[in-house]
Homo-oligomer: A and B are copies of this chain.
């Protein structure tokens, strides 16, 4: 609670502190900027700057604003950047008064590591995810992010920003390939380094027992990349697949008919009537009762979906209103699909998004900030959109899909050989 210092001059103030690599990670400048931009003012009461890059710094600020509401807004904003009020207080809890609705004034989560103060003690928030509420169980002293639709009457949600603490990401050690990829829109840069970096992440994730998630669009099939992805699955580098009806359909169309949207992938010829092939593929899979039965019956013998079944890679096909068919396996309800994705990303440590805006943004919304994400698309606007929406842990790679996968497989191969 800020104290109303001057009823006359009408300035409301609050002291906050922030620590860590706040100068070279741009955290402090960002906080100062937010305060001024939002119409507030600040005084720096104390500042200690680390003598070297690895030493943490500390700052104590007095934030002021012309109204209490404005002050609260400012404190909410800078809390997301790690500024914590000195006059510590527990988080404030309000019970949900109806299902599927947060209490008014609910604390809205970021995708960064967050702690909340409960009984004077800071505890970690579980299931970190942006744009959620934080449900708290005072009994067990646990807190977790929860989506709006999942709210049940009577649950206790945090209201306001008091008693919450966000740990903004600190600038990492110089990461050659990835650091360089931070300006994603330029198409005029060498891609080889970046692709090698993705290969390194895949190999490291596998070695450490982590899970790599591939989120992919149908251009993977149209550009002739199926065999590359199959190879990655067979070698154990892909542990989850999120896609839509289109990727699975065209993958199966190619397996059954040798075409993708009617284009023969071996010679590029357009088989005129071929636009029907994808419909016929869907119809057959529906007849067979789904993708897994189709594989088990020996009807589906190759392709990405086939390898997923064979190598036990769980896949989610999320429906959309532009789907033909769809395949029996498609989860047509968006909320149900979100629930499954939420479940399946819990243990994902690396995520590769290729040639799909819709699924990439959907998954980006669900991932905590510390999961590394690489987004590959030939169209810079997809990469930009993902960045605009706060998935700032994402590095973008503007390149052509098929050559990307071809090089990726080659790099993974080289890494495997050099390791053995």
List residues of chain B with CB within 8 A of the CB of A276: 108
Q: Which of B26, B98, B263, B321 contacts A338 (CB 8 A)?
A: B321
Give CA–CA (A384, B97) in the complex, Å: 48
Chain A 11-67 residues near chain B, CB threshold 8 A: 23-26, 28-29, 32-34, 36-38, 41-44, 47, 49-53
Give CA–CA (A181, B186) in the complex, Å: 19
Q: Which of B181, B187, B194, B265 contacts A219 (CB 8 A)?
A: B187
Give CA–CA (A271, B365) in the complex, Å: 21
- Inter-subunit contact A47/B47 (CB<8 Å): yes
Interface residues on A, range: 35 or more
Q: A49-B44, A320-B362 are in contact. Are A189 and B223 (CB under 8 A)?
A: yes
Give CA–CA (A365, B322) in the complex, Å: 7
Q: Which of B106, B272, B284, B324 contacts A77 (CB 8 A)?
A: B272
Q: Judge whether A131 is part of the interface by a CB distance below 8 angstroms.
A: yes
Q: Which of B24, B80, B189, B333 contacts A268 (CB 8 A)?
A: B189
How many copies, total? 4
Q: Provide the A392-416 mask, 1 if CB < 8 A to any CB of B, else 0.
A: 0000001110111011000000000
Chain A 290-341 residues near chain B, CB threshold 8 A: 318-326, 332-338, 341
Give CA–CA (A98, B191) in the complex, Å: 40
CB distance from A308 to the nearest CB of B (A): 19
Q: Provide the A138-151 mask, 1 if CB < 8 A to any CB of B, else 0.
A: 00000000001100
Give CA–CA (A322, B263) in the complex, Å: 30
Interface centre among A77, A273, A358, A379, by most B CB within 10 Å?
A273
- Inter-subunit contact B188/A185 (CB<8 Å): no
Chain A 253-285 residues near chain B, CB threshold 8 A: 260, 263, 265-273, 275-276, 279-280, 282-284
3 residue pairs, one from A and one from B, having the closest CB atoms:
A403-B403, A193-B268, A190-B224
